[in-house]
Each structure stands twice: as structure tokens, then as C-alpha cells.
Structure 1
Amino acid sequence: MKATDALDEIAFLLERNLASPYKTKAFRGALAAIEAFTEEEIAAGVEDGSLKRRKGIGATTWTVIEQAVAGDVPEYLADLRKRIGGPVTQTGAELRAQLKGDLHSHSYWSDGTTDLATMARTAERLGHDYLVASDHSPSLRIANGLSTERLEQQLEELATLNDSFDDFRMLSGIEVDILETGELDQSEDVLDRLDVVVASVHSKLRTPSAEMTKRMLAGIRSPHTNVLGHCTGRLVQGGRGTRPQSTFDAEAVFAACAENNVAVEINSRPERQDPPDNLITLALEAGCLFSIDSDAHAPGQLGLLDLGAARAHGLGIPADRIITTWPLDRLLEWCR
């Protein structure tokens, strides 16, 4: 197999398994160090040892490259495939196959680990028709949220990037904070230019229920909002510890989502599993649409959609109520 494919697959599997970014960075770095070379140039660099001395190549990644050039599946990759390869779960596989895209992902423009092009190429390889670049908004400084000026620069990069694809499209978007006032944390002018807006609450998650409900309702009623992101903000596992879900009048919030044509996100990250099952059922009964999203911060995490599809399947959500099963034209018309 190609050395570049081996490094990419190893990074993907580690990222999907939520391994330490420091571990995955080694393989992404090695990939970046050799991806501009032809297979013949890589083979020559292995033969004379010059590639081993190249910046970004370490002992483990050198062994992977060397074994791949020799025509073998690298031992490191074979072990990963055995332990964590294949779908994350087989549950909901039929629904997962109907998903055409993902509306929530992050790049190094905010707190993701790679560039937009790497996210896009991975999404295309997974069979996506589209992926939304939804980096954070300015108030989330800890996540390097995008100012209006930086978001406008990202829009220019997306336009150039899309020129390199035939059937795949990277959509413009944002995960915009719903501020304490209920306003969205970005200028209306730039929000008007985006394909998809995911609105989420990231701060003051223990605000009393009445105040949180008022805040969320204002965000949902904004004409710019398309998707309500990870609505409870809870964390149920993982390296960041756990965090209880925020409290709000769920019936009022989901009624507003249904009334204002805002989809409720089913966040596929295993540490979030947000909303909880009982709230998904309530949203389904309220007539809401849903968006199954990965909230990926690394390319491999795009594969976490398997988990969201499994939850949606288990709770009996019809495929047509899930906007990420829709073709691109229908999705964009609905967002507009």
C-alpha cells in the first residue's frame, strides 16, 4: 500500500478513537512531510535513508513508511485495524448509509487540529457529499473563535478549496455562540453570507432554567439559525471529565425549533451524547427536524457519525426528518 495512505489511515483511526492529539499529530506530521513526493521518490528516500532524516519523520512513522514501501501493511496499521477498524458500531448501519453530509466540524481556524483541505478530503473519502466548516465564533476565545475579519478570510479559502472538487462541496458555516442576551455572536452581515449556521450555548451552562430558556428561545428565533447545537452542553465521559446538562423548558425550546424550522442536533461525540434520549424523544414528538453531526475537531472524528446514526435509529427517528440525509440542493434551499 502507499505510505501516504498508511499514515493517513493510522491518523484517522486514532482520531476516531479519540486518541491523544499528540499521538495523532506524529502521523499527520509525517504525512505532511512526504505527501508532495511521488511513490518513486518516497521509495528512493527509503532506499538511501534520506527520508529518515527528514523533519517530521520519527522512528515509528519511519517504520510505517518503510514497511508500506516494501509492499506490506505496516504492523502498526494492521494492529489498529484489528483493534478499532471497521464501523464504530453496526447499529443503525442502514441509516448511517443514508447520511449525505455533516453540518458541524472544526479546523485549525479555531480549535481543530488540521486545515480545511484535510477535513474536506477525509469527508469526501468517507462518502460525504458535503461538509460544513463550522468553526467557533469570537466570544469563545479559549477555542480561538473567528472574528468577522477572520471568518471572511476563511470564506475566501473555502471558495478556492471548492474549485479543486468535482462532486464534493465544503459549505461555509459557523458554530455561533448564543450569548447571554440571546443574540448570536457574529455580525448579521457575515451570517447572511453563510450556508449553514449552528447555534450553541457554551457559557454559563448552570444558568437558572427560566433564564436559559429565554436565552435559547432568542437564539432559535434568530432568522440566521439553522441548527441548535448540543442543546444541553452535558459531558458524560472523557478526558474533560463530566458535566451535568443545563436545565431549560425543553417543551418550549423544541416547540420553537419546530415553529422556526431549526433542526435539533444529535451530537455524535461519545463524551456528549447530546441531547439525552428522553429529550430526543420529546423533540421528535414536538415535530422537530434533526441533524446528525460529528462535531469533529480532527479528520478521523468525522467517523463518529456512526454513533449518532445508531442513537437516531434506536429512537425511531424517520430518515426524512434528518436533514443530513437530504441531497445538497434540498438542504441549501431549506437553510435559505
Structure 2
Amino acid sequence: MAAEPEPLTAPVDPIDALRRTAYLMERARAGSYRVDAFRNALALLKAMPPDELSARLEQGTIRDVSGIGSSTGEVIEQAYAGELPTRLARLQAEAEAPLAEGGADYWAALVGDCHSHSTWSDGGSPIDEMVLAAIELGQSWLVLTDHSPRLTVARGLTAERLTQQLGVLAAIDRSLDGTFRLLPGIEVDILDDGSLDQSDAMLARLDLVTASVHSKLKMDKAAMTRRMVRAVSDPRVDVLGHCTGRLVTGGRGKRPQSQFDAEAVFAACAEHGTAVEINSRPERRDPPDELILLALEHDCLFAIDSDAHAPGQLEMKRYGCERAARLGVPLDRIVTTWDVDRLLEWSRPGKGA
């Protein structure tokens, strides 16, 4: 059941203070360069031998470490002194209000996420930090869906790199001893002809495939429809990601939605059991309300996903919950409310066919 992390109180470990500060900055959509300073400082402290960390904190030389500046150093020093860091206290107070009004019952029902990224592609945090944040949010499972090869701007994973990642994911999942499931997945590009940007053999090794259009978003309506229908009809595809590709706000500017026959695409989704993603990122809000209602009419399944590129963005599913509740999407048709066994029973049939 989705929840939210309990506010930290003094005394707090410096590593925990940095982690929560970065999380809350990401949740508040702070500039990435500011968040990076805290994430980088966190990585430095995690990698530092305990004796060295203790000595530097005792001697007051933690800010001499390259990559730890005045802001991050202040948080570390205040935490070490047994205080709740000033910046963290302010961020926690600001986070007392939920990200979205409405959808609380849907948020409480969520147990997973079919769309998340790590530093293996264009995410801002390593896999273990994404997992820890998901656990603190009360999730039961998370699918890691880094990008596929042709999206080079996002450092998409070749088959070789994806194979390496599968080993890392398996090791992390084993270490969790069943208390939480980390599932291997991919956000695979839907190519111009509707084929998928990864080999059949690699896709067959994954627990869940989210497929999205990232290129040629202004393609002719008929061609885009054929492209999307072919993709969502593929037995390897489980979720259709951010189907229109639109951007409605944010630093990347605005982008109009792609043109396609939504009736045909959603009919194919319903026929093949492919879930329509309700992408919760504020700059996407994709699909628009009218397309969610159309997908409902076609009896489609849905996935309320974060498309998180950082731990603090996992909570953005609250925005998707508000929309799903307002538009009357039945909870049982939202795959991210399902337990992991039911999810895998749905997602695994047909893999490698």
C-alpha cells in the first residue's frame, strides 16, 4: 500500500539527512543541478570509509572533500551535531501537503510502478536509491525500465549493457529476501514501423515491457496509427507509455500531442491486454483526460506510473491517482494496484513468442 516516508527527527544520520533532503528537492521539482549537489554528496559519504568519515566530522574538515560544498556541508554538519538540519526541516514542513488534492484512495491502493529509470540510462540516481525510495513509499514492487539502444540521447542500453544490468537487478532483488520485488524491465522505443528497439531474446528475459514513441512524433496520422497498433499488439509489450508524447509545461517547453486514431489503438490495447499508461509526470499528464475516458470505453487496463528519473519523483504517481479517481477508472483495472504475483501472471504469457 502506497504511503509516504515518515518525517525525520533529530538525531539523524548525515547520510540519511542528505538522502531525504535530495528526495524532497526532487519531489518539489527543484532544478536538477541543485539536486545533483546533494546526490553527489550522498554518493561520496556512502563510498567513504567509516573511519575517514568519522575523522573528518570530528575535525570539521568534511567540506575539504571535493564535491561537498557549503549547502551540503551544512546539512552533514548539523546532522552530525545531533540537530535536524535547517534545510531538511524546511523541506519537510513544505511537504506536509500532498502533491495532489484528490485520489487519496487510489494512492493508498498503489503497490507498484511499471516505469522508472536509473543512472544506467538518463536517470539521476543509482538503482539502490530508487529501490530504497520505493520501499519508503510503501510500494511492494518496482519495474526498472531504462531506455533501449536507439535513444542515444538517454544513454539507451545495448543488449550487452542490459545483460549486465539484469545481473545487478537479480543481485539486488535477492538481497531484499522477498520483502520487496525489483523486476527487470525496459522502456523500449517503438520504431517507425511499429517494431521494438531490442532483440526478441532480450525482451523475453524481462518481466515487463513498457513501449513508447520517442521519435518522429509528427508522423502522419495513418502511419502513426499503424506504428502504435503493431506495437501494442506485440505479445511482448505490456504497457503503452505516454501515448501522445505531449509536453504541457516544464523546462523542455511545450509539445503538441501526436496524431493517431485513438479508437484503433485502444481497441488493440484491449484486445491484446496491453495497459494504457497514465503517465504522472506533471509536464506530460499523458494521455489527456478525453483519451483516458476513451480507453475506459474500450475496457482497457491502465498503469498509473511515475516515469521517475529520480527517487523523489516516484511520489508523482499522486498526480496520476488524482486523474484516475476524477475520471472514474476502476481500481481493479489499474495494474499498479495488483500484487506482484498477479502482475507477473499477466505480464509473462507470450514472452518470447
The normalised TM-score by structure 1 is 0.96
1:313 and 1:38, CA in 2 relative to 1: closer, same or farther beyond 3 A? farther
Partner of 1:278: 290
Distance 1:316 1:43 in 2: 54
SS at match of 2:120: coil
Counterpart residue identity of residue 310, structure 1: E
Q: Does 1:197 align with 2:209?
A: yes
Partner of 2:340: 328
Deviations, residues 260-284 of structure 1 (Å, cap 9, x unaligned)? 0000000000000000000000001
SS at match of 1:287: coil
Counterpart residue identity of residue 329, structure 2: I
Counterpart residue identity of residue 287, structure 2: P
SS at match of 1:35: helix
> Which deviates more, 313-322 or 160-169?
160-169
Distance 2:294 2:46 in 1: 48
SS at match of 1:103: coil
Distance 2:255 2:95 in 1: 27
SS at match of 1:31: helix
Counterpart residue identity of residue 21, structure 2: I
Counterpart residue identity of residue 253, structure 1: V
Query: Identity of aligned pairs, percent?
Result: 57
Counterpart residue identity of residue 195, structure 1: D
Partner of 1:57: 68
SS at match of 2:175: coil
Distance 2:333 2:138 in 1: 21
Q: Does 1:262 align with 2:274?
A: yes
Counterpart residue identity of residue 22, structure 2: A
Deviations, residues 106-151 of structure 1 (Å, cap 9, x unaligned)? 1111111111111111111111111111011111111111111111
Output the aligned Cα RMSD.
Answer: 1.6
Q: Does 1:73 align with 2:84?
A: yes
Determine which of 321, 329, 332 is the counterpart of 1:309: 321
Give runs of aligned pairs for residues 152-167 of structure 1, distance below 5 A: 152-166=163-177, 167=179
Distance 2:119 2:49 in 1: 27
Structure 1 gaps of 5+ residues are: none
Given that 1:228 and 1:264 are in contact with CA atoms closer than 8 Å, whether structure 2 keeps it comes out as yes
Distance 1:7 1:248 in 2: 45
Counterpart residue identity of residue 51, structure 1: I
Determine which of 127, 149, 153 is the counterpart of 1:138: 149
Distance 2:26 2:76 in 1: 19
Partner of 1:124: 135
Counterpart residue identity of residue 220, structure 1: V
SS at match of 2:278: strand
Counterpart residue identity of residue 32, structure 1: A
Distance 1:112 1:277 in 2: 27
Partner of 2:5: none
> Which deviates more, 83-92 or 10-19?
83-92
Q: Does 1:244 align with 2:233?
A: no
SS at match of 1:146: coil
TM-superposed deviation, 1:84:
3.7
Partner of 1:32: 43
Counterpart residue identity of residue 45, structure 2: I
Distance 1:122 1:18 in 2: 16
Given that 1:46 and 1:52 are in contact with CA atoms closer than 8 Å, whether structure 2 keeps it comes out as no
Counterpart residue identity of residue 284, structure 1: L
Counterpart residue identity of residue 219, structure 1: A
Counterpart residue identity of residue 166, structure 2: L
Counterpart residue identity of residue 184, structure 1: L
The normalised TM-score by structure 2 is 0.92
Distance 2:296 2:63 in 1: 55
Given that 1:43 and 1:69 are in contact with CA atoms closer than 8 Å, whether structure 2 keeps it comes out as no
Structure 2 gaps of 5+ residues are: 1-11, 349-353
Counterpart residue identity of residue 276, structure 1: P
> Which deviates more, 69-78 or 165-174?
69-78
